[in-house]
Amino acid sequence: MAGPRIMSLMLVIVTAMFAIAIVIFHYLRAICSRGRLQQICRIETEQGLFSSITNTATSHEQTRSSAFRRLRHASAPVPTSPDGHDSFRGFSGIQVAALQRNSLRSSLTRRAVSSTSSGSAPSESSRASQRLLPAIDPHADCTIVHNFPKSGQGTVKIMQCNQTSKLIVIKTVDMERRKRSRRPALADELTSTASMSLEYCSGGDVDALINHWNSIDQLREQGFPKIFVLYFISSMFAAVGYLHEGNFTVDTASTPRLCNKPMIHRDIKRPNIYLRISDDNQHGLPDVVLGDFGLSCYEQDSEGVSGTPGYLSPESLAVYNLKYTDRHAYRRASTSRIQTRANDVYNFGTALYEVLTLEQFDNRKHTYTPLDLEIALNKTRSTDMQPILDILKLCLVEDPVKRATTKALLLIKPSLNEALELLYKDPKEHMPPDSWPVRRFDPRIGISTNGPASKVQSPAAS
């Protein structure tokens, strides 16, 4: 009797367990099916969203390219000059304005994208808003009086404002030669030229002034008077100090910076230092203007070596020479920060050396140790130039760490100005009458050749 009961009980238990297993199987299957369905829905949603984004981006890119092409084809042509040699002297390199059309291009792109992303067909009013407005010529009221020969950087012409009779220089630069774009695919869509309005410096440059003094025996023998040398140093301290320290002076510890990032010029030399003649010149001397900022950059962005051979600082010259001895080392150095503010200080020292000696500086052929500097200055200078010689030695120190800093030079500027005031009161210290080369400007022949003049001539008065 017990055996059949046990068998029946075991059968019931096995049946119940089998039923429970079936229930669990269907439950798990339902869960898996629901998860798979959700995954499929999510994938389809993501694919649809990706497709939507891709289509929108494609339409945006097509619209932007269309706007760029319209802008490029509607751009006004830039006048050019006949081919020739580089002759950019007689004006400063201070950039007053650049005729760039980036803001207009961005506005057209935003309008085109907004009309496309709305999903509706563009209306007639939206099409009209996308049409390029006529270009505005800021020099429409000016007359071209002279075209300089075309150079590798672009074209240069002198224009005269019809209302004020003021002369300005218009420099047109080929941006394709200077582009450093990280997106070369857009290079053909960008405006290829930029025009800059530059200040016209009627006094020429320091290079022409030194050549003029060397052409007259009496001037060459006596050299520049001390008043001009001090005035040159003080003016250059102000220019370099503004680039490096953001201000013209550091008379106090709380002197505010007028710009946030230090900039370096990287090519200070006598052809890039101009003379500006005006009625309010101090001490009867033309303003000394630092120009030609084509190689300048923020100090933190400086890479490799830029400048003019013969005027390079020792640290720059060492890297430059690797170009001929170790090409691999030169490539590695070309991506490093070689030139700093100390490089500009050295370049200023080269210009000061030429003003003091009327001789060309070239550290490829000659050495400029402190003893060499003393010997060179003793040939043409009296012993009262010792303070200036000390400044020159500090600027031409080979080690950039030991070289004079811009702040240290600016601290000397007040003393220089006081000495200038005293010298100006003494007529014997003034510049000789034939000090300045003639800078008469004639629209028919351009700037005349250099020669002695009884007084400084401005273009308007000649």
Please report, for the chain, how many H helices and E strands are present, in that order. 13, 11
User: What does the pLDDT average to over 171-188?
Assistant: 55
Residue 17 lies in a domain: no
Q: What percent of the chain has pLDDT over 70?
A: 62
Residue 31 lies in a domain: no
**CATH number, domain at 73?**
3.30.200.20
What is the extent of the structural domain holding 66?
56-122+129-180+187-200
Split at pLDDT 50, 70, 90, the class of 393 is very high
Residue 459 lies in a domain: no
**Residue 13: is its pLDDT beyond 70?**
yes
Q: What is the model's pLDDT at position 186?
A: 40
Q: What is the DSSP string of 145-176?
A: EEEPPB-SSEEEEEEEETTT--EEEEEEEEHH
Looking at the fold, whether 217 and 110 belong to one and the same domain comes out as: no
Q: What is the model's pLDDT at position 34?
A: 59
Residue 399 lies in a domain: yes
Looking at the fold, whether 216 and 322 belong to one and the same domain comes out as: yes
Looking at the fold, whether 376 and 229 belong to one and the same domain comes out as: yes
**Residue 407: is its pLDDT beyond 70?**
yes
Q: What is the DSSP string of 235-289?
A: HHHHHHHHHHHSSS--SSTTPPPSSSS-EE-S---GGGEEEE--TT-GGG-PEEE
Looking at the fold, whether 322 and 383 belong to one and the same domain comes out as: yes
Q: What is the model's pLDDT at position 138?
A: 67
Helices (H), 95-225: 102-117, 124-130, 175-178, 206-214, 217-222
User: What does the pLDDT average to over 53-61?
Assistant: 43
Displacement of CA 204 from its chain's centroid (Å): 23
Looking at the fold, whether 311 and 439 belong to one and the same domain comes out as: yes
Give the residue with greater pLDDT, 337 vs 48.
Answer: 337
Looking at the fold, whether 303 and 441 belong to one and the same domain comes out as: yes
Looking at the fold, whether 294 and 321 belong to one and the same domain comes out as: yes
Query: What would the two tokens of residue 406 be?
Result: 């811009």
Looking at the fold, whether 310 and 347 belong to one and the same domain comes out as: yes
**Residue 375: is its pLDDT beyond 80?**
yes
Looking at the fold, whether 170 and 248 belong to one and the same domain comes out as: no
What is the per-residue pLDDT across 200-255, written as a single tens digit (0 to 9) for each? 888 889 999 999 999 998 888 889 999 999 999 999 999 999 999 887 766 544 55
Q: Which segment of 233-237, 375-379, 417-421 scores lowest on mean pLDDT?
A: 375-379
Residue 430 lies in a domain: yes
Looking at the fold, whether 293 and 437 belong to one and the same domain comes out as: yes
Q: What is the model's pLDDT at position 328?
A: 86
Q: How many folded domains does the chain comprise? A: 2
> Where does a domain end: 153, 170, 200?
200
Residue 277 lies in a domain: yes
- Rounded CA separation 232/393 (Å): 17
Looking at the fold, whether 99 and 159 belong to one and the same domain comes out as: yes
Split at pLDDT 50, 70, 90, the class of 272 is very high
- Rounded CA separation 367/363 (Å): 6
Cβ neighbours of residue 57 closer than 8 Å, sequence gap 6 or more: none
CB neighbour burial string for 300-326, b if at least 16 within 10 angstroms, e if fewer: eebebbbbeeebbbbbbbebbebeeee
Looking at the fold, whether 92 and 109 belong to one and the same domain comes out as: yes
The CA angle 436-440-441, to the nearest 5 degrees, is: 145
Residue 166 lies in a domain: yes
Residue 136 lies in a domain: yes
Please state the φ and ψ torsions of residue 181, each to the nearest 5 degrees: -70, 140
**CATH number, domain at 441?**
1.10.510.10
> Where does a domain end: 143, 169, 200?
200
Q: What is the model's pLDDT at position 7?
A: 80
Q: What is the model's pLDDT at position 401?
A: 95
Q: What is the model's pLDDT at position 15?
A: 85
Q: What is the model's pLDDT at position 267?
A: 95
The DSSP bridge partners found for residue 289 are 274
**Residue 9: is its pLDDT beyond 50?**
yes
Q: What is the model's pLDDT at position 84?
A: 30
What is the per-residue pLDDT across 38-56, written as a single tens digit (0 to 9) for each? 554 444 444 443 444 344 4
Considering the chain, what is the average pLDDT of its residues?
72
Give the residue with greater pLDDT, 339 vs 100.
Answer: 339
Q: What is the pTM of this model?
A: 0.64
